[in-house]
Structure 1
């Protein structure tokens, strides 16, 4: 008869990235974990994990087994949730990681509203622009802005937004330096650059025309909030995602430049580990973020 506890221990070891990490996480002896996983491999007649003193690797068959074992545990959690009534009133801690601009422009309000509406949910937000390993660091949700498709990471990927990146400047700057009427005129203007290099901007028109333009670098910052403040101060023209300057645009503090041109698109994707992503509290928070 199958020992389903061994399935759980195998998933735990893979999620934690090794026996030592899993032992620290669970409080179980490392030797016990190794013995139970070895017993599971013996029962199945296959090698699920290749392990040496320096390396821990899940075999191809082990990865496929992991996906099914994780799904089994998700269903077990869901069954327990029904009994405990957690589907009716989600509870527990939901750990989220996102970049500074995303937290400021999207998450601040929605997460506070959730905390008020669901007092049994405790939201924990880690604000950082560095890459975060959700599984290894124990996060339930990550929000990532990206220009190219994300690699296949084994995580649930839920695309929640996609918007254009546009040229923007303050009315004071345009009054002082003139409003460009063509991409060729941009070379005479101050540029607020979003990288530490002064490379050209690659622009595309609504009609599909593509050009590269080089402005005169006035400031460099790899953080959009800083660039928006520089735009409002009249320092030059920047390329920013629409959500970053929507409020300033509505308030009349900034204006789009050459609105028929864009500097590409930025996609926001919500990432979740398969198992954690099925918990009612995590689903509720993920749905609220997507709606926002």
Structure 2
């Protein structure tokens, strides 16, 4: 079997164009490089380098061997780096961007625990609903909630949570207005909508049947917490992500409406540039968020 150190010496000689330069780069005598390359050739029973006092060129076999040797060295370096990154203590700054609802639901509760777990980690959270260019603006991680798949942007994408959007209302509202039995009966109920233009809910039954419901517009808000509080106050029926209203459901502030129907699904995806995912601090943050968001989704499903 070949000696990996011989591959290192051979590759350095090729890249530096000679034994003396390779020796200087590696901090070893020229004679050591020359001797080890000669022994490598003897072991392979093939001439890899044509060398004279004035020239240093690869043979055809040498060129092929160098390509494979370099690939092997790259894989060796990657293997070593992967171990070092996993055992390294996460440190440094990690810049995260997320929308307001995502920060409120997922990050506000969990990020302090991450900071306590890794004291050398400096977390920087930017909460904004505008589209952020991760690469240009220097962010390490973005959490994005979306209904349709994200476009292929060349960024790393990791789906963390897929939530059902459920219909909910306060028990006091349902006592006063009655519990709808079918989607068509929602037209006789007050709806809490995401915008003045979003007047209809597209619903799907657990068996695949689809229906459209048009409630009476009582209030609209493009922010989930406002809709949640309005529903708890008894203003009408709202469509909200299951985990977002899980606590209110457990506390009895809200009740499921048409539990066999849902208003679609929303996915929360972690997005990051390829190069940032190799840093121990970013890797630790990603794994922590994946665990926490998974627990949040299970809690929401349990509340239902």
Fold shared per TM-score above 0.5: yes
Counterpart-to-counterpart distance in 1, 2:82 and 2:175: 64
- Is residue 169 of structure 2 the alignment partner of residue 150 of structure 1? no
Counterpart-to-counterpart distance in 2, 1:251 and 1:92: 40
Counterpart-to-counterpart distance in 2, 1:181 and 1:256: 12
CA contact (8 A) 1:134 1:142 kept: yes
Deviation at 1:2, TM superposition (A): 7.5
Equivalent residue for 2:185? 185
Equivalent residue for 1:210? 210
Equivalent residue for 2:167? 167
Query: Relative to structure 1, is the Cα distance of residues 280 and 180 closer, same or farther in structure 2, using a 3 angstrom cutoff?
Result: same
Counterpart-to-counterpart distance in 2, 1:276 and 1:95: 10
Computed over aligned residues only, the root mean square deviation of the Cα atoms, in angstroms, reads 2.0
CA deviations on 1:136-189 (whole Å, 9 max, x unpaired) are 111000001100000000100000110100100001111111111111110000
Equivalent residue for 1:57? none
CA contact (8 A) 1:192 1:237 kept: yes
Secondary structure of 1:180's partner? coil
Equivalent residue for 1:223? 223
Q: After superposition, where does 1:27-42 map in structure 2 within 5 Å?
A: none
**Structure of greater Rg:** 2
Counterpart-to-counterpart distance in 2, 1:170 and 1:100: 24
Counterpart-to-counterpart distance in 1, 2:150 and 2:281: 25
Counterpart-to-counterpart distance in 2, 1:252 and 1:86: 44
Equivalent residue for 1:121? 121
Normalised to the residue count of structure 2, the TM-score between the two structures is: 0.68
Equivalent residue for 2:135? 135
- Is residue 103 of structure 2 the alignment partner of residue 106 of structure 1? no
Unmatched runs of 5 consecutive residues or more in structure 1: 4-71
Counterpart-to-counterpart distance in 1, 2:175 and 2:168: 13
- Is residue 278 of structure 2 the alignment partner of residue 274 of structure 1? no
Secondary structure of 1:243's partner? coil
Q: How many pairs are equivalent?
A: 219
Unmatched runs of 5 consecutive residues or more in structure 2: 1-13, 17-73, 293-304
Normalised to the residue count of structure 1, the TM-score between the two structures is: 0.71
- Is residue 237 of structure 2 the alignment partner of residue 237 of structure 1? yes
Equivalent residue for 2:265? 265
Counterpart-to-counterpart distance in 1, 2:97 and 2:162: 19
Deviation at 1:203, TM superposition (A): 0.3
Counterpart-to-counterpart distance in 1, 2:191 and 2:201: 10
